[in-house]
Every structure is written in structure tokens, then in C-alpha cells.
Amino acid sequence: MGKLILFFCLFILVFSVQGQKDPALKALKKTYGKEALNAFKQDHGSLELLYYAYENGLHIIQNNGGKSIDQYPKAPQTEIVHFTDLGVKIEPFTQYFQSEVPNQLIAVISLYQLQLEFKASKNSTH
């Protein structure tokens, strides 16, 4: 009986740890598709960079200079938490979207910038 309880506890622990990445993976699959995710994994060795991008790929930029931001597409009027909420992929260039807040842009940072930030986060001593 004790072995059964131990097995059950281990089973729950393993699936609860895996479940933490499931929301990101589900959103990434919806945005990228299985083929593109496999290609990304092949090109970069894993999906770790995309998981990092899922949590850290958006930046808010204040348009303090008062420049026109009309050339940028408007972000959906839903809550934007992850770059996948905008329905875009990480690209070699930064992508900008108008926010609902006046004079504010949402930036999906470039692949290169994400690589730099990801590398710095791995080297961080925090």
C-alpha cells in the first residue's frame, strides 16, 4: 500500500512540473504551429528561448517625443500579456503595436535582443 501511495505522489509531482510549461507551449503551438516549432528547436537546440520570449518578449515604450505612432498596427483590445496574444512570431526585427494607452507602444523584441537577454539571464548571479 505504501508503494502505491509513493507512486501516486511521484506521478502527481511529475505531471504538475510539466504542467507549468503547458500554457506557454499551447500558446506557442497556436502561434507557430508544430512544424515551425520543430524547425526552431532544430535551429536553436531547444525551445528554451521561446519559453523565455513567452514570459519576457514584450516591452512597453513611452512615446515621450510625441512622434506619430499611427503607422503601427493597433493591438487587440484584449489583455496583452505575452507576444503570442498579438498573434505574431518572434522575428529578427522588433515589432511595434499601438497600445490602448495614448502615446504608448507595445514592442515585441527581436530575436537577437531576446538571445542577448536570455544569455544574460542564464549568466546572472541572482
pTM for the complete prediction? 0.77
89 CA to centre of own chain: 9
Position 66 scores a pLDDT of 80
Give me the number of domains the chain comprises.
1
Cα separation, 110 vs 120, whole angstroms: 15
Q: Which domain holds residue 94?
A: 2-123
Cα separation, 117 vs 126, whole angstroms: 14
Q: pLDDT tens per residue, the chain (126 residues)?
A: 555 454 444 445 444 444 446 899 999 999 999 999 999 999 999 999 999 999 999 999 998 788 889 999 999 888 889 999 999 999 999 999 999 988 899 999 999 999 999 999 988 765
